[in-house]
Amino acid sequence: MFTGLIEETGRVARVVRAGDGINLTIDAVKVLDGIETGDSVCINGACQTVTAADGSSFSVFVSAVTASVTTLGAFTPGRRVNLERAMTPGSRFGGHFVQGHVDGRGGIARVDKGPAGMNVAVSVPAGLRRYIVEKGSIAVDGVSLTVVSLTGNGFTLYFIPETLANTIVSEWKAGDEVNIEVDVIAKYVERMMESGTSGGGDESLMKKLAEEGFA
Task: Assess whether pLDDT exceeds 60 at residue 200.
Answer: no
Pair (179, 108) in one structural domain = yes
Q: Does one domain contain both 77 and 63?
A: yes
| Structural domain containing residue 203 | 184-215
The CATH number covering residue 66 comes to 2.40.30.20
Question: pTM above 0.85?
Answer: yes
Residues 14 and 66 in one domain: yes
Verify that 18 and 62 share a domain, yes or no: yes
In-domain check, residue 112: yes
Whether 93 is covered by a domain: the verdict is no
Whether 150 and 213 map to the same domain: the answer is no
Residue 2 lies in a domain: no
Confidence check: pLDDT of 211 > 80: no
The reply to whether 13 and 65 lie within a common domain is yes
Burial 146-159 (b: 16+ CB within 10 A, else e): ebeeeeeebbbbbb
- For residue 199, pLDDT over 60 is answered with no
48 and 23 inside one domain: yes
Cα Rg of the chain, angstroms: 18
What mean pLDDT is reported for the chain?
91
Domains identified in the chain, total number: 3
pLDDT digits (tens, 9 = 90+) for 92-138: 677 788 999 999 999 999 999 988 899 999 999 999 999 999 999 99
* Statement to judge: residues 147 and 189 lie in one domain: no
25 in a structural domain? yes
Q: Is 91 inside a domain boundary? A: no
- Contact status, residue 105 vs residue 213, Cβ threshold 8 Å: no
Evaluate whether residue 56 is within a structural domain.
yes
74 residue type, one letter: A
Strand order in the sheet with 154-159: 143-146, 137-140, 177-182, 104-113, 118-123, 154-159, 149-150
Residue 96 within a domain? no
Q: Do both 178 and 209 map to the same domain?
A: no
pLDDT tens digits, one per residue of 54-96: 999 999 999 999 999 999 999 999 999 999 999 877 776 777 8
Q: Is 66 part of a structural domain of the chain?
A: yes
CA atoms within 13 A on the CB side of 77: 5
pLDDT in tens, 164-197: 999 999 999 999 999 999 988 878 788 777 766 5
Residues 78 and 50 in one domain: yes
Amino acid code (one letter) for 111: V
Q: In the prediction, which pLDDT does 166 show?
A: 96
Q: Kindly indicate the confidence band of residue 207, based on its pLDDT and cuts at 50, 70 and 90.
A: low
Give phi and psi for 176, each to the nearest 5.
-70, 145
Instruction: Tell me, yes or no, whether 121 and 159 share the same domain.
Output: yes
80 and 125 share one domain: no
**153 has pLDDT over 90:** yes
Neighbours of 51 (CB within 10 A): 14
